[in-house]
């Protein structure tokens, strides 16, 4: 539990609940929007994508939960006794620490370090989601694609292994929109499209795209 120092103050007797556990979960395990949660989940290792699905089936990624983190939307759903307002999918095999919701509520009330941790996570996630809303509402797609490619492509590489569908899911738009814009980028010589990857990414050119469209 080194990743969660907030549990250090939990008294030994409070760990005795039989349903407190550490579990390993496989890729693609999903929690669907609208469900009622039975456990509070803390990620020890791995990656979980949290996303929203529109009525038309289009997805947009809200944030990712990695080692030492939790999904604040899950925590809010538990404390408010509401349905989960997002969906979550395990991207890599992950190790999770799970607490029954009644135990979680008791611990939040009893232990200040846990409350402080949850509040910090809320603040961090709100910042991420606010930035996402700003991007979707006010920034043109050319900017968002250029910014996405710059952030996702390793500094020492000019190749990113990703599909047009995956970019569309991350940015919350249609695959056709992504394909059209990427072909425009390719025509300008800013990158080269391949099967399941984007090659010869020109970082300087994409930085100029961001400056030009804002």
For 22, list phi and psi in degrees, rounded to 5.
-110, 125
Please name which of 164, 169, 174, 172 lies closest in space to residue 198, comparing C-alpha atoms: 164
Q: What average pLDDT does the chain have?
A: 94
For 158, list phi and psi in degrees, rounded to 5.
-120, 15
Taking the C-alpha atoms of residue 115 and residue 133, their distance in angstroms, rounded to an integer, is 27
Please name which of 170, 152, 169 lies closest in space to residue 161, comparing C-alpha atoms: 152
Determine the Cα angle at 137 with ends 134 and 138, to 5°: 75
**pLDDT at residue 119 tops 90:** yes
Position 54 scores a pLDDT of 87
Q: For 32-79, how does the pLDDT look when each residue is reduced to its tens digit (9 = 90+)?
A: 999 889 999 999 999 999 999 988 888 999 999 999 999 999 999 999
Taking the C-alpha atoms of residue 34 and residue 13, their distance in angstroms, rounded to an integer, is 34
Position 2 scores a pLDDT of 83
Position 79 scores a pLDDT of 93
Please name which of 209, 188, 191 lies closest in space to residue 153, comparing C-alpha atoms: 191
Tokens of 59: 């997805």
Tokens of 210: 């961001």
Taking the C-alpha atoms of residue 167 and residue 173, their distance in angstroms, rounded to an integer, is 9
Which pTM value belongs to this model? 0.86
Beta bridge partners of 89: 30, 49
126-149 mean pLDDT? 94
Taking the C-alpha atoms of residue 157 and residue 163, their distance in angstroms, rounded to an integer, is 17
**pLDDT at residue 118 tops 80:** yes
191, 185 contact by CB (below 8 A): yes
Q: Domains in the chain, ordered, with CATH?
A: 5-137 (2.60.120.10), 139-213 (1.10.10.10)
For 114, list phi and psi in degrees, rounded to 5.
-70, -45
Cα four-point dihedral sign 91, 101, 80, 42: negative
Q: For 152-171, how does the pLDDT look when each residue is reduced to its tens digit (9 = 90+)?
A: 999 889 999 999 999 999 99
Alpha carbons within 13 angstroms on the beta-carbon side of residue 129 total 14
Position 7 scores a pLDDT of 97
Q: Please state the length of the chain.
A: 214
């Amino acid at each position: 539990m080194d990743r969660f120092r907030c549990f250090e103050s939990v008294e030994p007797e409070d760990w005795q609940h039989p349903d407190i556990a550490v579990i390993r979960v496989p890729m693609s395990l999903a929690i669907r929007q609208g469900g009622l949660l039975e456990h509070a989940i803390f990620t020890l290792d791995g990656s979980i994508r949290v996303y929203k699905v529109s009525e038309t089936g289009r997805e947009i990624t809200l944030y990712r939960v990695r080692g030492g983190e939790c999904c604040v939307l899950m925590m809010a759903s538990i404390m408010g006794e509401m349905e989960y307002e997002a969906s979550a999918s395990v991207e890599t095999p992950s190790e999770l620490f799970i607490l029954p919701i009644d135990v979680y509520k008791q611990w939040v009330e009893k232990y200040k370090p846990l409350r402080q941790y949850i509040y910090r996570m809320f603040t961090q996630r709100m910042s991420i989601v606010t930035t996402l809303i700003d991007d979707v509402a006010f920034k043109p797609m050319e900017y968002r694609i250029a910014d996405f490619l710059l952030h996702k492509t390793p500094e020492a590489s000019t190749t990113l292994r990703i599909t047009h569908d995956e970019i569309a899911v991350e940015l919350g738009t249609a695959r056709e929109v992504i394909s059209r814009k990427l072909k425009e980028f390719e025509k300008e010589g800013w990158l080269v499209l391949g099967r399941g990857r984007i090659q010869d990414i020109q970082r300087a050119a994409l930085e100029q795209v961001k400056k030009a469209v804002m």
